Amino acid sequence: MEIIKIRDLSKKLKTILKRGDEAFDRGTYEYSNAMYRRVLLSEPNCYEVRDKLRESQTKSLATKKSFMNSMMAGIVATWHMSVTMQWMFHKGRDYEALDLAEKIFSMDPSSPVAGKCICLAAEECGEPYSAKTAMEIVYSFHPKSTAVKADLARFYGQAGEGVKCLQLYKEIAAQNPNSRKWQELLRDANALASMDRGGWTKAAKEGGDFRDLIKDKEQTALLEQQGRTALTEEGRQLLIDELLNEIEEQDSIDRRTKLSELYFESENFDEARIHAEKSIELSNVRDPNNIRLLRNIDIGELKHKIESLEREGVPIAEIQAVENQITDILLSTGEEILTKFPNTHDERFDYANLLIKLDRYDEALAHLQKLSQNPRYRIDAAQLIGNCFVIKELWELAEEQFQIVINESPTMTGIKKNALYEMGLIYENLKRWDDSHASFKEIYQVDIGYRDVKERIENSHRS
């Protein structure tokens, strides 16, 4: 989901935002918190409003800071994290859970437990910015807390702020010099900080000698982190050798997974599968990530086979048979993940798209309708639902879905232009000629080269 600017908000949301700003200026922070949250519930990626909310929450703390407020925030946060928010995640209402977490955080932004509540919801939504900005406030009140530092460092890392992430992990590792966990996190933070500064990625892409780059384990971790597709085969083998040596010292899920990925990139699918299966054995859990890992290996091997068959010039039926195997794998693993982990929204979206490609529209609709309840997927889901209804010639139902896309896209994005175009075609089928012309005209005014709108508009004027 793209970052939204205040200028791109709808008129209704700008009105609510103005109320929040006026309340903030008056010092009625509880009301300004509520207004900013209302805007963010509709546009969670408007970081400018998220920053306004953080400032308002901090200001409100100065007017009501007390031991009782802090204790109540902790109790409420603990309850909602373990009960209400888990139910919301299960129902796909992730952004409503984030709004609930913001409401709890507003009770006492200095509370580490309330901050944890934000972290939980933000991670489920894939919104590291929300967690990072909340934990910065908590950290300002608890600068010596290892748990708070660790949470803030983690979200600095997810937000791509490697230098800040490294600084906090350095402090934690210095306090826990014998902890393997913190030393490994420090190593990874070193890699991220190096990428943040930009030097290593540039050196690798300019063809520098990998043997000069790999000086120690921190540099090895850096190379692991920086887009391994740019590595030479020699550089990849050096990383493989390093991981094999580390596994001899101490086996771990993370090392096996990285080793599997490196072998996969080298197209050594047998070794990739061996280490992926070992990673699953060590974790003792078949979760979405390791299901996908094995799936990628199986599909990668089949795609490699297709390339070989194409070079050999075999009959198209043989190639189609292998492509069908890939489809079967995607279907079976998608079903497995969604059955065991129904809250994996990215998987559900990909699975629905696959069903559409296979002309299984009713099955796709069932998944897309679930996704439409999630603000993160609402517009994309509406677009695909509309496409399915068009194929089924359910014109009025398709119109409703494309109208959602149009109404909730403040700027003329590609998806909005597509929705307007589809609406134009729908109105043609319904013989609503003026509405059809209006839809095509709206696109014509901003993008004369979009599909055949130029011809449609000009022909309509001639007739």
Q: What percent of the chain has pLDDT over 90?
A: 35
Q: Is residue 133's pLDDT more than 90?
A: yes
What are the angstrom distances between the C-alpha of 375 and each of 45, 94, 130, 226, 284? 10, 8, 16, 31, 34
The whole-number pLDDT of residue 224 equals 45
Q: What is the pLDDT of residue 461?
A: 63
Q: Residues 159-180: what's their mean pLDDT?
A: 83
Residue 88 has pLDDT above 50, yes or no: yes
Each residue's pLDDT tens digit, 207-254: 444 334 334 444 444 444 444 434 566 667 778 888 898 898 889 888
**Domain residues of the chain, as ranges?**
161-250, 251-341, 359-463
Question: Using 50, 70 and 90 to split pLDDT, how confident is the model at 407?
Answer: very high
Q: Does residue 291 carry a pLDDT above 80?
A: yes
- The per-residue pLDDT for 69 is 54
The answer on pLDDT for 132 being more than 90 is: yes
Architecture label for domain 359-463: Alpha Horseshoe (1.25)
123-137, 216-230, 394-408 — which is least confidently predicted? 216-230
More confident residue, 117 or 70: 117
At residue 355 the predicted structure's pLDDT band, cuts being 50, 70 and 90, is: very high
pLDDT of 220? 46
Residue 370: is its pLDDT beyond 90? yes
CA distance 179 to 306: 47
Q: List all residues 6 or more positions away from 451 whose beta carbon is below 8 Å from its beta carbon.
A: 421
What does the pLDDT average to over 22-30? 87
Place of tokens 């992990």: 169
DSSP code string of 273-334: HHHHHHHHHHHT---HHHHHHHHHHHHHHHHHHHHHHHHHT--HHHHHHHHHHHHHHHHHHH
Contacts of 245 (CB under 8 A, 6+ apart): none
Higher pLDDT, 155 or 176: 155
Please tell me the predicted confidence (pLDDT) of residue 62: 65
- Residue 430 reports pLDDT greater than 50: yes
Tell me, what's the pLDDT at 310?
A: 86
Q: Give the chain's mean pLDDT.
A: 83
pLDDT for 277 = 92
Any residues with CB less than 8 A from the CB of 56 and at least 6 apart, and which? Answer: 20, 24, 29, 32, 33, 36
Compute the distance between CA of residue 451 and CA of residue 459 in angstroms, rounded to an integer. 14
- Mind giving me the DSSP string for 333-392? HHHHHHHH-TT-HHHHHHHHHHHHHTT-HHHHHHHHHHHTTSTTTHHHHHHHHHHHHHHT
Mean pLDDT of 54-65: 77
Q: Which of 404, 361, 397 minimizes the C-alpha distance to 379?
A: 404
Please state the separation of Cα 91 from the chain's center in Å: 18
DSSP letter at 45 equals T
Residue 365 has pLDDT above 90, yes or no: yes
